[in-house]
Amino acid sequence: MRFVALDVDVTGTSLRRDRVTGIAALPVTAAMLRLADLRYCALATTTGASTQPASDWRSRYLGLREMVMGSPIVTYNPGFVKGMIARSCSMHRLPAIEGDWLDLVAIAGVVDAEVTELTSMEYWLEEMRSGGSRPHDAAYDVFAMAQMLQAVLAYCEEAGIETAESLARNHDARAWLRGG
């Protein structure tokens, strides 16, 4: 099983007014992660201006996108994250990150609906005794999400959910039963 934990740095929470300033991704393969595999890509803040050459951040984005493609993408609030990335891609004329987007909280609910502490970002950041240079720093949050995913995958194995496909099927079934 291979998943990719993904998060974004944003200027705010409005899909219309705010923008993505960076994207972090960390693959989790066979329930293992390597911090060396963490990728962060700072995006240009406007379509024409950036502190780094346009080709540099574009090639970094394309490399991060390539790493993510073909694996289920795990994040908090995937609709928001996916929407913000799609808006940035449209603005910068970049290909979007596509794939199966899974909500970490919903995945944990597949195993046990009572697993609230397991899916709390604050809990994991406290356990790691860390946090980014600002609240909800994508690089720190994606690392915490990858660790939460490892814990969820361990619970999944105990519950007999042993493949990414069966996890996604259970995730989709739960979303359908909840009405969304």
pLDDT in tens, 125-178: 565 555 555 667 899 899 988 988 888 888 777 777 766 566 666 666 555 444
pTM of the complete model: 0.79
Q: How far is CA 129 from CA 115, 117, 125, in A?
A: 21, 16, 6
SS (H, E, C) 143-165: HHHHHHHHHHHHHHHHCCCCCHH
**Choice between 7 and 54, residue whose per-residue pLDDT is larger:** 7
Q: Report pLDDT for 45.
A: 61
Mean pLDDT score, 33-48: 82
Rounded CA-CA distance 75/170 in Å is 17
| Burial of residue 151, with CB atoms counted within 10 A of its CB: 0-12 exposed, 13-18 middle, 19 or more buried | middle
Domain spans of the chain, in order of start: 2-178
Count of alpha carbons within 13 Å of 79, Cβ hemisphere only?
A: 3
Q: Report pLDDT for 160.
A: 76
Tens digit of each residue's pLDDT (9 = 90 or more) over 87-129: 999 999 999 999 999 988 887 776 665 555 555 656 655 655 5
Q: How far is CA 122 from CA 22, 26, 57, 118, 145, in A?
A: 21, 19, 30, 10, 11
Instruction: With a cut of 90, say whether residue 22 has pLDDT above it.
Output: yes
Give the CATH architecture of domain 2-178. Answer: 2-Layer Sandwich (3.30)
Reported as a pLDDT band with limits 50, 70 and 90, residue 82 is: very high
CB atoms within 10 A of CB 62: 13
Mean pLDDT score, 64-73: 96
Q: Report pLDDT for 108.
A: 74
22's tokens: 């960076």
What length does the chain have?
A: 180
